[in-house]
């Protein structure tokens, strides 16, 4: 996840990160067989930092 930087930084980024640290482990504990619906290689990813 990107939250921007400098004057464009998301004001809620610390709350969002804290929520993710709490929620994701619980999600995987509750649904241990959770998997991607498609192979990871087919998931579009953009590492350029632009939308």
- Residue 38 reports pLDDT greater than 90: yes
- Residue 49 reports pLDDT greater than 70: no
Taking only the tens place, the pLDDT of each residue in 18-33 is 999 999 999 999 999 9
Distance of alpha carbon 29 from alpha carbon 49, whole angstroms: 31
CB atoms < 10 A from the CB of 34, how many? 8
Q: What is the pLDDT of residue 24?
A: 94
Q: What is the pLDDT of residue 13?
A: 87
- The pLDDT > 90 percentage for the chain reads 49
CA gyration radius for the chain? Answer: 15
Structure tokens at 2: 């990107």
């Amino acid at each position: 996840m990107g939250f921007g930087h400098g004057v464009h930084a998301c004001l809620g980024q610390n709350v969002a990160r804290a929520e993710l640290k709490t929620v994701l482990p619980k999600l995987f504990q509750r649904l241990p067989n959770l998997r991607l619906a498609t192979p990871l290689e087919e998931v579009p990813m953009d590492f350029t930092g632009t939308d």
